[in-house]
Structure 1
């Protein structure tokens, strides 16, 4: 029993390291999103850190329109990045989980 516990602890540490490595890697995964008409383009990492924003000059004339574009496009980009982030981290966590019947946390 003690050996099993030590094995599980080792596996847990290994999984924690894999999660940290995955988080670092997600800083290099870029997610691009643009408005439907292409007037606004946003790039962020899968960890939801904004890398760039390109704004068409036409949007600079109308603050309210720019605000709307930013909100809509940023929300779409964040949603995409979140899905990638959660899927990658769940996959790593699932690999490291012991097979305990009834504990299907990451299905």
Structure 2
């Protein structure tokens, strides 16, 4: 019975940490770049596209511009995923969770 109480306590702690993590992700803003900063993409911590900035010199080459937008988005998305992984590690620190458990569910 004591073990069950400990598990419930851990679950409550984890729930609080997960809510805190979600709030941090909501407030997070990440910028990705491509072409030496000629294209910049801003994403929220939940990967919502917030802004695209394009150097005017790229407006004449549509194909290059399209490729750079995709690359800048990929860069920003990778940064968001790294931040999410770090926040998740902080949220679950000290908890005995099974290896490979993917959170949030």
Fold match, TM over 0.5? yes
How far is the alpha carbon of 1:59 from its aligned partner? 2.1
Q: Which runs of 5+ in 1 are unaligned?
A: none
Matched position secondary structure for 2:92: helix
Q: Which runs of 5+ in 2 are unaligned?
A: none
Q: Which has more radius of gyration?
A: 1
CA contact (8 A) 2:40 2:52 kept: yes
- Aligned pair count reads 101
| Aligned pairs for 1:45-64 within 5 A | 45-64=44-63
TM-score by length of 2: 0.79
Residue-by-residue CA offset, 1:23-67 (whole Å, 9 max, x unaligned): 121121221222233221112123222221111222222221111
Tell me the distance in 2 between the aligned counterparts of 1:53 and 1:86. Answer: 25
Matched position secondary structure for 1:75: helix
